Amino acid sequence: MSHKRTLDLDAHLEPLLRILRALIDDPRLAGNRLDKLVQQIGRSPGGTFYSRDDLLRAYRQFAGEALPAHDPAVIERLRMKPVRTRSGVTPVTVLTKPFPCPGECIFCPNDVRMPKSYLSDEPGAQRAEQNAFDPYLQTYTRLRAFYNTGHPTNKIEVLILGGTWSFYPETYQIWFVKRIFDALHDFGAGIDRTEEVWAAVQASSQLHPANNPVNVALHGADLTQTYNQAVQSVYAAEMRRSRELSQALQALPAEQRSPIDEFATWDELEAAHTFNETAECRCVGMVVETRPDHISADEVLRIRRLGCTKVQIGFQSLNDAVLKANRRGHTVAATRRAVALLRAAGFKIHAHWMPNLYGSSPDADIADYARMFDDPDFRPDELKIYPCSLIESAELMRRYQDGSWAPYTHDELLTVLAACFRLTPEYCRLTRVIRDIPGTDIVAGNKTTNFRQLVDAELARTGEQSRDIRAREVRGQAVDAAGLSLDTVDYATSAGRELFLQMIAPDRTIAGFLRLSLPDPSAAPLHDTLAGAAIIREVHVYGQAVDIGEAGDGRAQHSGLGTRLIEQAVALARDAGYASVAVISAVGTREYYRSRGFHDAPLYQIRSTTV
């Protein structure tokens, strides 16, 4: 963990108050204008250039005393990188520890310091390593960073990334999620246990940076050992410690365990869930990532029991020949089965898809992408498009050196991605178009990080624009709720019918949406709670994330859009003959749904359509 200097606010009271009073008096003072004011005051004798976190901390401390009462609008103008929470929630990403992976994909990086497929100098991976991959430390420090830069911290979407989640031991998974909730609760209550946890990590874990001088580097052109072999060798002591503790920990009550002992019970996790329902810092969405061949009915329900609402799943390709050539380890049929099971359980499906894989071509990739939305067995809700880039540690290096694989040219990649944007329907959100891999790690392939903007410009050149959700979000715009209309996209899926209800402006800008699944009545439900029920898979209202219960003129959040969408979904389910509507609610949204007529049932919340 890094420790920044903390400014003595009282010692700098006069210049800080000058800046903050100017900010309060002039609503236009923000961004570059605010920076110039700070620089002007900083040039005075003995002046200091104040950071945004300094100004935010000063405003929070002095508002209501030396300054007028706290005003959320002032916090908004001090906020750094507001785009991070303009989709309506505050995203907190945590990585699991380095661990063996069931896959042997030739395009995948082999960085032994990281969980499979991640690189040690990716921003999120760096944060994870600095925090020894500990879930509590990662969550708490990220929350603190958001708070210090002016972002709301009480509606959190937790993204658990790192290799194949379903391949980690169940005890590790339960503990990992439980410790995330512990961090949420401590942060919301103003309790900071990071020093205690850090000390425990340093004393006992190889994953502490000071205890982990990893000196193993794998080179894809000449792999003398696999990633799994290297990880098991490098982290042998850590894995042995976990195994030896496993049995002993089961007999110990929670208060006698170390904060880094990788063990928690289902009962302990469920108690944390219950506490989070009304906590200050709530989990309003939880995501894990896994492989299609590790999804089964039991696995889907177990992931749900952990509190998850969305699954990131690697499609990579929908061509069996390409999957085989890249040693993906599963077929397209496995992807079909996985999507069907996840959809039947109500999960949001966030797919990963990779153009430019070994054995493919630009034309084949465009056809593959079209298949993803033409075929009812796929049709993901969200999508990351990750063009294949060559990393030195990946086995793909051999194919590059023998000339059997080459990266697409800039124009070829632009053509493929422009075609993909055109083919993306309104119900899908393109969350990312290029993976955030530092250019220094890429041996060959695209290094342009703003390719989404290049594609948008290419579409604009021909009078087109993307129809996906991300391109249409209201983001920071003011919303006239009365000017919105309800639009419904109806499409078939492997589970039945899907209704995408969206609240849109005349230009089709989207302020909120709801995903309603109408399962095939003849199919056996995946869980008893879902018998005879339609499923609300997601309700999302866009705009800058605001605190629970906070509203304001022109805000999409807390303007009643979510309730309007839910009532419409219940009516549609009733008209379609369903006796009830189930919702795959996140732990932190249970209270919200209770206040809208839903009651608790195993794994879901449910509401009758006849009341």
Query: What CATH number has the domain bearing residue 511?
Result: 3.40.630.30
Q: Quick one: 221 and 331 in the same domain?
A: no
Give me the pLDDT at residue 559, please: 66
pLDDT confidence band for 346 (50 / 70 / 90): very high
The CATH number that applies at residue 340 is 3.20.20.70
Note the residue count of the chain. Answer: 611
| Residue 155 CB neighbours (<10 A) | 22
381 and 498, same domain (yes or no): no
Does pLDDT of 546 surpass 60? no
The answer to the question of residue 72 being in a domain is yes
Q: What is the pLDDT of residues 319-343, one digit of tens each?
A: 999 999 999 999 999 999 999 999 9
Residue among 100, 139, 95, 138 nearest 118 (CA):
95
Give the domain extent around 450: 291-472
Instruction: Indicate the range of 8-17, 390-399, 528-537 predicted with least confidence.
Output: 8-17
Amino acid identity of residue 292, one-letter, is P
Contact call for residues 334 and 387 (beta carbons, < 8 A): no
Per-residue confidence (pLDDT) for residue 87, from 0 to 100: 67
Q: Are 154 and 547 in contact (CB under 8 A)?
A: yes
Same-domain check for residues 377 and 492: no
Residue 251 predicted with pLDDT over 90:
no
Q: Which of 472, 499, 523 is at the close of a domain?
A: 472
Query: Both 586 and 565 in a single domain?
Result: yes
Phi, psi of 22 (to 5 degrees): -65, -40
Average pLDDT, the chain: 91
Average pLDDT over residues 243-253: 79
**What's the pLDDT at 549?**
56
- The pLDDT assigned to 476 comes to 67
Looking at the fold, whether 107 and 62 belong to one and the same domain comes out as no
Who contacts 47 (Cβ-Cβ below 8 Å, separation ≥6)? 15, 41
Indicate the burial class of 76 (C-beta count within 10 angstroms; 0-12, 13-18, 19 or more). Answer: middle
pLDDT at 437: 85
Same domain, 249 and 192: yes
For 462-516, what is each residue's pLDDT tens digit? 999 999 999 999 876 777 788 899 999 999 999 999 999 999 999 999 999 999 9
Q: In angstroms, rounded to a whole number, what is the distance separating the alpha carbons of residues 423 and 369?
A: 8
CA-nearest of 264, 279, 352, 274 to 315 is 352
**Same domain, yes or no: 242 and 341:** no
What does the DSSP assignment read for 324-365? HHTT-SS-HHHHHHHHHHHHHTT-EEEEEE-SS-TT--HHHH
Quote the pLDDT of residue 203: 92
Q: How far apart are the first and last CA of the chain?
A: 53
Q: Any idea which of 201-205, 282-286, 472-476, 542-546 has the lowest mean pLDDT? A: 542-546
Model pLDDT, residue 49: 80
Domain membership flag for residue 85: no
554 confidence band (pLDDT: 50, 70, 90)? very low
Cα separation of 611 and 608, whole Å?
Answer: 6
Strands (E), 72-169: 90-95, 155-161
Q: Is the pLDDT of residue 555 over 50?
A: no
Return the closest-CA partner of residue 91 out of 283, 306, 272, 275: 283
Q: Which of 308, 302, 322, 432 is nearest to 368 (CA)?
A: 322
Closest C-alpha to 37, from 57, 9, 15, 53: 15
Encoding tokens for residue 286? 């939880």
Q: Does pLDDT of 201 surpass 80?
A: yes
For residue 2, being part of any structural domain is answered with no
pLDDT in tens, 295-327: 999 999 999 999 999 999 999 999 999 999 999
Whether residues 333 and 461 share a domain: the answer is yes
> Any idea which of 129-138, 418-427, 459-468, 543-552 has the lowest mean pLDDT?
543-552
Number of domains observed in the structure of the chain: 4
Predicted confidence band of residue 344 (pLDDT cuts 50, 70, 90): very high
Residue 42 within a domain? yes
Q: To the nearest 5 percent, what fractions of the chain are helix, strand and coil?
A: 45, 15, 40
CB-based contact 149:53 (threshold 8 Å):
yes
Cβ(376)–Cβ(336) below 8 Å = no
DSSP 409: P
| 318 and 407 co-located in one domain | yes
Amino acid letter for position 395: E
pLDDT tens by residue, 15-70: 888 889 888 888 888 888 888 888 888 766 667 788 888 888 888 888 888 888 88
Last residue of a domain, one of 78, 112, 132: 78
Domain presence at residue 83: no
pLDDT at 558: 47
One domain for residues 534 and 573:
yes
- Point out the domain boundary residue: 225, 249, 284: 284
Residues 328 and 419 in one domain: yes
**Is residue 118 domain-shared with residue 200, that is, in the same domain?**
yes
Mean pLDDT over residues 355-362, rounded?
98
Q: Is residue 276 part of a domain?
A: yes
Q: What is the pLDDT of residue 149?
A: 86
